A and B are shown apart, each in its own frame.
Chain A
Amino acid sequence: MVLVCATFPLIWIGGLVTTTKSGMAVPDWPSTYGYNMFLYPWQTWVFGPYDLFLEHGHRLLASTVGFLCLMFLGLALWRKDRSLITLSLIALGLVLAQGVLGGLRVVWDKTTIARVHGCVGPLFFGYLVYVECFTSRRIKNIVPQDSRWGGTYLQLSIALMVVAWLQIVLGSLIRHVPAAMTHGMFRASLIFHVITALLVAILATALCAVSWSDKKGLKLVRYTATFTVLLVLGQIMLGIAAYTVKYGWPTFLPGAANFDSFVVQWESGLQSIIVTGHVAVGSLILACGVSLAAYCIRCYWITSGQHERTSSAKSNSSSGKEVMA
C-alpha cells in the first residue's frame, strides 16, 4: 500500500514534469520578436493576436499544469504527508503567480513582465524537478554517506543551480531587449552572459570531474553531471549559433570573414529552432543543476536531521534503480 502510494506520485509527477518541459520550459520565453509561430506551433505562446492558436494552446497547457498541481495537493492531503503538502502548496503558489504574470504580460504588454515571466517559468520548472527528485524512489534509495568530497559536492551542485538560473535571467535580458535599453547596458549583459556561461561550464566540469574521481561517489550524480557537461557544451555552441542567426557572426569572435555572405533571415525556421533550442537547453541545464543539488543534499547533507524521516521508510530498494535518471 505504501509502495503503491509512493510510486503513484512518482509516475504522476514524472508526467507533470514532462508536461512542464513541453508546456513551460521550452516556450517559457515569450517570443518577443514573434518568430517560430508557424513551424513550432506548440512552442511559442505570447503574441496572442498574432497567432491565437498558440496563445490558446499555451494557456491550455498552463491550466493543465495548474490543475495537475491541484491534484498533487489533493493527493498530498489524502496521504497526510506534511512535507508533500508544503511542497504542493508552494508549487501551486508558483504556478498561480506564473499564470498571473503571464496574464499581466499580455494585458499590460510590457517586456519587463515578459522577462520576469520568462524567468519564473524555469524557476517553476526547476522547482518541479526538485519536487520530482524529492518524491522519487531514486532519491529515497540514496543512502546518506559521509564523504570527504561531501562539502565540495554540495557547494558545486548548489552553485551550479544558482548560476544556471542567473544565466537564464541574464539570457532573458538579451532575449527581451527593451527598446529604451542603452547599448552599454546590453553590452554589459552580453558580457555577463558569456562570463556566466563559462562559470556554468567550469562548475559543471568540476562537478563531473569530482564525481568521476570519487570512487565511492553516487553513480546518479556522476551520470547527471556528465550529461550536464555535454548539455553545457552544446548550449554554448547553440548560444553562438543563436547570436549568429539573429545578428550575424559575433564580431568579437575570430573568423568573421567566413560569414561574409551570410544573410540573417529574420523569422526564419532556422532562427526559431536555434533560439528556442538555446532557451530550452538553458532550462534543461537548470533542471540538471536542481536534480544534482537535490541528490547531493540528500546524500551528503548528513548533519541535518530533517530528512531522516523520509529516508527511514525506504532504505531497502535495490541500487539498480539509481540509474533511472
Chain B
Amino acid sequence: MQISQALAFGGPYRAGGLVLAVMIGAILGCSSEPAKFEPNRIAMYKAELSLGTKLDPTYQVQPIEKILTETFGTPDKPDLSLWDPKKLVPDLAEERADIQTEYDEIKAELDKALKDPDLDPEDRADIEADLADVKKDLDAVDKQIAAVEGLVQLDMLQMAAGPYGSAEDGTPRGLYRQHCVHCHGITGNGAGPTAAFLNPYPRDFRLGKFKWKSTTTGAPPTHDDLKRVITNGVPGTAMPSFKLLPAEEIEALTQYVTYLSLRGELERNLILDFSDIDVAVLKPAGMQSEEEKEYVESLSADELKEEQTGLKEELAELSDPEIFLPDYLAPIVTKWAFADKNVTDVPEKPEVVLDESIVHGRDLFFKKGGCATCHGQSALGDGQTAEMFYDDWTEEYYDPKNPEHLEEFLALGALPPRKLQPRNLRLGNFRGGRRPVDVYWRIRNGIEGAKMPAAQQLTEEEIWHVVDFVRKGLPYDSLSQPPEHVQENVRVRN
C-alpha cells in the first residue's frame, strides 16, 4: 500500500528527472566538441532581411569564416601568423624604411667626416644634430609600429585562450574561459549562459563599442580603459572586479577582450561587404528568391557562365590575405592601436569655491546642459525619456519602431530587449567610476552605445561645474535609509 503511494509521489520527480536528463544529455552533446567561435548569425540575418534573400553558404558564409580563422585562429589556438606590420600598416613600414635609409646615409656621412682630420667642429655638430633628428623620427615610427604589434600579443592571448589549466612551465591557460566565458560567451557576444538573468546584459564585444572609456564618441577604448574596468569591475552590475588576479593575467584578459572585439568588428564588416555582392547566379536553385530566380532565368547560358566566373574571381580576390588584411583588418587594428590619440584631454579643474561651482552646475543641469530631460528634475533618473530608448547592442537586432522580426532574432540567440534606464544620480555611484575625471569624461563624451549624448554645448569649465553638482551637490539618498520626514512638533504648533 505504501509502495503504491510512494510511486504516486514519484510522478513529479520523474518529470523533473526527465527534464534533467534531457538537459544533461544536451550539455554532454555540446561540450564534447572543441570550442568554436560562433558566427554572428544576428548580423547575417540582419543582412538577409535587408537584402530580401538568404546568404549563400558556400560563397558568402564560408569565406567569411575562413578569413576569420586565418586571421584570428580558434578559441583554443589563437593564431596571429598573418599579422605582419608590413601588411597591416604598409605606410608606416614604408616610412620606417625611408627614414632608416636616411639615417644610414647620415650615419655614413658622419663616419666619413670623422675620419677627416681637418673636420670643422661646427660641421660635425651639424651632422650629429641631423642624425639625432632622424633618430627621433625613427623612434616615433618604431613606437607606432610597436603599438600595432603590441595591441594583441600571441603569448598573452594564449594565456587567456583555450580550456583552463596551465602550461607545462606553469603559466596559466584559459583565463577567459575561467573567468569571463560564462557571461560574455566564447565569441564575446555577451550572450554567455548566465546572460539572460543579468541586468545590464554582459557586453557584446563584437561591436567594438565600450561604455567606460576616456576616448571620444565613436573611438575604441584605450588599453588602459579596458584594463580599468576589468580591474575595478562595474559597481551595481554583475561585472566583477579582478583586482585579486596577478597583473599579468589582467593584461592577458585585456588583450583577449581586444582580440575578440577586433575579430567581431572584422566579421561584421565582412558580412556587410560579402552580403553586398550579388551571388544570385551562383546560388543553388532552392536558395534563390523569386527576384533572383527571374534574373538568372533571364540570362543566356553564356552570360550566366561569364557572370559566374567573374563573380568567383571577385570572391576569391576578397578572400585573399593580400586584399583583406590591408582593406579590412588594418583600419580596425590601427583604430585600436592608436586609440590613445583620441583620448579626451581633461583640463585642470578651475579653482572655484565648491558651493559656487555647485550652484552653477545646478543651473547648467536644468538649463543649458539639458541633463534634467532624462535624469529628471530630482536627478532620480525619472525624466521624460523617449519611450524607445534602447542601447546600440540591442538596436543591432531590435528596431523598436519596427519590432516584427524580434522573434526570429531571439531564436538566433539574441537577448530580449530591455529599455535603457537613465542613471539615478542620487545614489552617489557611477558605473564607469566615481573619480571626478570619470564623470568629466561621461559628460564630455557621452556614453558610447547608450543614449547619453556628449555635452558639446558646454565649455570645459561648465562641465567641471556639472561634475561638482552631480558628485557633491545632490542630496545622497541611500535607499536602505531614506531621509526621514521631519516630524512637526505638535506642541509648538499649538
Residue numbers of A with Cβ under 8 A of B are: 32-34, 47, 49-50, 109-112, 150-151, 154-155, 158-159, 162-163, 166, 169-170, 173, 177-190, 192, 196, 246-248, 250-252, 256-268, 300-301, 303
**Alpha-carbon gap, A150 to B2, bound state (A):** 9
Q: Which residues of A contact B193 (CB under 8 A)?
A: 177-179, 181-183, 185-186
**22 cross-chain CB contacts under 8 A:** A34-B178, A50-B172, A151-B2, A154-B5, A154-B6, A180-B30, A181-B27, A185-B27, A186-B195, A246-B240, A251-B197, A257-B479, A260-B424, A260-B427, A261-B236, A261-B428, A262-B236, A263-B233, A263-B234, A264-B240, A265-B233, A266-B243
CB distance from A83 to the nearest CB of B (A): 21
Sorted from nearest, which 10 A-B pairs have the closest CB atoms?
A264-B240, A186-B193, A266-B240, A181-B193, A251-B199, A177-B182, A247-B238, A180-B30, A261-B429, A183-B196
A247 touching B197, Cβ below 8 Å: yes
**Alpha-carbon gap, A34 to B173, bound state (A):** 12
Q: A180-B30, A181-B30, A248-B237 are in contact. Are A170 and B244 (CB under 8 A)?
A: no
A189 touching B30, Cβ below 8 Å: no
Q: Which residues of A contact B23 (CB under 8 A)?
A: 173, 185, 188-189
A49 touching B165, Cβ below 8 Å: yes
A265 touching B240, Cβ below 8 Å: yes
B35 touching A186, Cβ below 8 Å: no
B194 touching A186, Cβ below 8 Å: yes
Q: Which residues of B contact A173 (CB under 8 A)?
A: 23-24, 27
**Alpha-carbon gap, A183 to B204, bound state (A):** 14
CB distance from B231 to the nearest CB of A (A): 10
A266 touching B245, Cβ below 8 Å: yes
Starting from the known contacts A186-B194, A261-B427, 15 additional A-B residue pairs (CB-CB under 8 Å) come to: A49-B165, A151-B2, A154-B5, A159-B13, A163-B13, A179-B181, A179-B182, A181-B30, A183-B195, A186-B196, A248-B236, A251-B199, A259-B236, A261-B428, A263-B235
CB distance from A158 to the nearest CB of B (A): 6
Chain B stretch 448-494: residues in CB contact (< 8 A) with chain A: 479-480
Chain B stretch 206-257: residues in CB contact (< 8 A) with chain A: 232-245
**Alpha-carbon gap, A110 to B31, bound state (A):** 8
Q: Which residues of B contact A264 (CB under 8 A)?
A: 233, 238-241
A192 touching B16, Cβ below 8 Å: yes
Residue B163 CB within 8 A of the other chain: yes
Nearest neighbor of B236 in chain A, beta-carbon distance: A260
Chain B stretch 319-357: residues in CB contact (< 8 A) with chain A: none
Give the B interface residue count (CB, 8 A).
Answer: 65
Residue B148 CB within 8 A of the other chain: no
Question: Please, what's the 1-or-0 string for B244-273, where 1 marks a CB less than 8 Å from any CB in chain A?
Answer: 110000000000000000000000000000
**Alpha-carbon gap, A190 to B28, bound state (A):** 18
Nearest neighbor of A153 in chain B, beta-carbon distance: B2
B2 touching A178, Cβ below 8 Å: no
Residue B101 CB within 8 A of the other chain: no
Residue B49 CB within 8 A of the other chain: no
Residue B413 CB within 8 A of the other chain: yes
Which of A32, A50, A170, A180: most chain B Cβ within 10 A?
Answer: A180
Q: A34-B178, A179-B186, A186-B193 are in contact. Are A262 and B30 (CB under 8 A)?
A: no
Residue numbers of B with Cβ under 8 A of A are: 1-2, 5-6, 9-10, 13, 16-17, 19-20, 23-24, 26-28, 30-32, 35, 163-166, 170, 172, 177-179, 181-183, 185-186, 191-199, 232-245, 413, 415, 424, 427-429, 479-480
Which residue in A154, A189, A265 is a CB contact (below 8 Å) of B241?
Answer: A265
Q: Which residues of B contact A182 (CB under 8 A)?
A: 191, 193, 413
Which residue in B13, B240, B413, B424 is a CB contact (below 8 Å) of A166?
Answer: B13
Q: Which residues of B contact A185 (CB under 8 A)?
A: 23, 26-27, 193
Q: A33-B179, A169-B20, A180-B35 are in contact. Are A263 and B241 (CB under 8 A)?
A: yes
Q: Which residues of A contact B197 (CB under 8 A)?
A: 186-187, 190, 247, 250-252
CB distance from B431 to the nearest CB of A (A): 9
**Alpha-carbon gap, A252 to B198, bound state (A):** 9
Nearest neighbor of B13 in chain A, beta-carbon distance: A162
**Alpha-carbon gap, A181 to B23, bound state (A):** 10
Q: Which residues of B contact A301 (CB under 8 A)?
A: 2
**Alpha-carbon gap, A261 to B10, bound state (A):** 45
**Alpha-carbon gap, A260 to B181, bound state (A):** 24
**Alpha-carbon gap, A265 to B242, bound state (A):** 7
A170 touching B241, Cβ below 8 Å: no
Q: Which residues of B contact A47 (CB under 8 A)?
A: 164
Nearest neighbor of A269 in chain B, beta-carbon distance: B244
**Alpha-carbon gap, A177 to B194, bound state (A):** 8
Nearest neighbor of B183 in chain A, beta-carbon distance: A247
Q: Which residues of A contact B429 (CB under 8 A)?
A: 260-261
**Alpha-carbon gap, A259 to B195, bound state (A):** 19
CB distance from B343 to the nearest CB of A (A): 25
Nearest neighbor of B166 in chain A, beta-carbon distance: A49
A258 touching B182, Cβ below 8 Å: no
Which residue in A151, A183, A262 is a CB contact (below 8 Å) of B1?
Answer: A151
A187 touching B179, Cβ below 8 Å: no
B415 touching A111, Cβ below 8 Å: no
Q: Which residues of B contact A196 (CB under 8 A)?
A: 16
**Alpha-carbon gap, A170 to B424, bound state (A):** 37
Which of B9, B26, B172, B236: most chain A Cβ within 10 A?
Answer: B236
Nearest neighbor of B36 in chain A, beta-carbon distance: A180
**Alpha-carbon gap, A267 to B192, bound state (A):** 19
Which of B19, B197, B234, B424: most chain A Cβ within 10 A?
Answer: B197
**Alpha-carbon gap, A173 to B24, bound state (A):** 8
Nearest neighbor of A38 in chain B, beta-carbon distance: B244
Q: Which residues of A contact B241 (CB under 8 A)?
A: 263-266
**Alpha-carbon gap, A298 to B428, bound state (A):** 60
Nearest neighbor of B430 in chain A, beta-carbon distance: A261
Nearest neighbor of B244 in chain A, beta-carbon distance: A267
Nearest neighbor of B479 in chain A, beta-carbon distance: A257
Which of B17, B181, B182: most chain A Cβ within 10 A?
Answer: B182
Q: Which residues of B contact A263 (CB under 8 A)?
A: 232-235, 240-241
**Alpha-carbon gap, A183 to B198, bound state (A):** 10
Q: A33-B178, A247-B238, A303-B2 are in contact. Are A178 and B245 (CB under 8 A)?
A: no
B5 touching A261, Cβ below 8 Å: no
A265 touching B27, Cβ below 8 Å: no
Q: Which residues of B contact A183 (CB under 8 A)?
A: 191-196, 413, 415
Q: Which residues of B contact A184 (CB under 8 A)?
A: 196
Which of A47, A150, A260: most chain B Cβ within 10 A?
Answer: A260
Q: Which residues of B contact A151 (CB under 8 A)?
A: 1-2, 5
Nearest neighbor of A35 in chain B, beta-carbon distance: B244
B13 touching A257, Cβ below 8 Å: no
Q: Which residues of B contact A262 (CB under 8 A)?
A: 235-236
Q: Which residues of A contact B27 (CB under 8 A)?
A: 112, 173, 178, 180-181, 185
**Alpha-carbon gap, A111 to B165, bound state (A):** 12
Nearest neighbor of B200 in chain A, beta-carbon distance: A251
Which of A162, A163, A261: most chain B Cβ within 10 A?
Answer: A261
